[in-house]
Structure 1
């Protein structure tokens, strides 16, 4: 990628750094803070044999970036060479995320925005050896309450797709967080179905389609979570027991000893 225009903060992938961030930063934080992480999948999961991938997600909490690690490592089994489009202001403060493939976007600087979009297109056109690349994008650009509608999305993701002539797989991902009778909250992921944009569509038309799909995914996830349809999910990560669960376990053991 030497001939690609580089953003001020390009990805600087580092195997050891990425492992440390996953195990001791993202996964440990989720384990210690959440009761469970749940997954609901619609359609076949993205396959690197089918080409590059853009995962576009709603952005409702600080935890979203950590769930990105879980999606990449557990759900997609690390089969893509993953990257994350991240706000430059945040990346400047937490530059170590470049070790996991994060790169910066400064929306307040048009020239820098163009460099970042061109860099993203170049990333997705190329492969890492035989491995297709993926880019996680939060098109809302900022943290927004999870039930706020309509979803307001920046057009950058549609421009990337248009510049790729639609030659990229797209996957909506809805994220949600809820307390459900335990001390710690639950995190929910809804992924898929994978789709493609029509190469003949304008960026505006593509943006409308992405917005519609992501809104539908977020609404469907909300309905299943609020409706307590846990049979539609699979647990992909269990957190440590909360005080309530530890007490219940102790009480059961105590009752057994008194029989």
Structure 2
């Protein structure tokens, strides 16, 4: 397991680069909260669908301008080794091919939450096409929050082209859910409950974009 190696100085300068980088490549990045959603204080676990290379950079920008919490993100070991600078902004690795490494990564994630930090997780594990259903959640979020009062906050990312050369991304943060609110008796059943909830929310964002009912989204660029 490769731990994070956070640097506040690097964090600041990377944010200056990243927001310009995103402006260059995207027509817009837009954000909204669910009708009753509120951003919980740390510690919290944010879960995000994973469909593009851009996801980590979009999440970093969202945390810098909206959630503004000291955050950590679990990434596949291959990604950390290819882009080691992610460690400086809070990324740590997991190697799903090594059961012992998975345990170490889960424990590292739990320790960050116990320290009062915020954790971001891509429960699909690998990139999957935005329209693939089922989403295929791995059980990490359920294991990390099992028998705790840590809120699980769904963050839905939806990428689209709307007649312009550059794409747009719509982000919606929905109401937190807690381990105790997930239906089922086993971790497998609760993980399925979480995936089902998230799928409904992501499809709602998709319909917002298709039906062009996006006036409640605000620009983040």
In the superposition, the TM-score normalised over structure 2's length comes to 0.93
Q: What is the SS of the residue equivalent to 2:219?
A: strand
Which residue matches 2:94? 105
CA separation in 2, counterparts of 1:44 and 1:178? 24
Structure 2: 5+ residue runs without aligned partners? none
Aligned to 1:95: 84
Q: Which residue of 2 aligns with 1:72?
A: 63
SS in 2 for 1:167: coil
Q: Residue 174 of structure 2 corresponds to which residue in structure 1?
A: 192
For 1:160 and 1:124, the matched residues in 2 are separated by 9
Greater than 6 Å deviation, 4+ residue runs:
none
How far apart, CA to CA, are the structure 2 residues paired with 1:166 and 1:222?
31
Corresponding residue to 1:125 among 103, 111, 114: 114
8 Å Cα contact 1:167-1:199 kept in structure 2: no
Q: Is residue 142–residue 179 contact of structure 2 (8 Å, CA) maintained in 1?
A: no
What is the TM-score of this pair, normalised by structure 1?
0.80
Distance between the aligned counterparts of 2:192 and 2:58, measured in 1?
A: 25
How much has 1:155 moved relative to structure 2? Answer: 1.1
What are the superposed Cα offsets for residues 168-187 of structure 1, whole Å, 9 maximum, x if unpaired?
A: 01101110111112221111
Tell me how large the CA RMSD over aligned residues is: 1.5
SS across alignment from 1:230: coil
Determine whether 1:53 maps to 2:44.
yes
**Alpha-carbon shift at residue 199 of structure 1 (Å):** 7.9
Deviation at 1:17, TM superposition (A): 1.2
Q: Whose radius of gyration is greater, 1 or 2?
A: 1
Q: Paired residue for 1:240?
A: none
Task: Tell me how many residue pairs correspond in the alignment.
Answer: 218
Mapping for residues 236-247 of structure 1, pairs under 5 Å: 236-237=220-221
The correspondence for 1:140, drawn from 105, 124, 146, is 124
1:34 is aligned to: 26
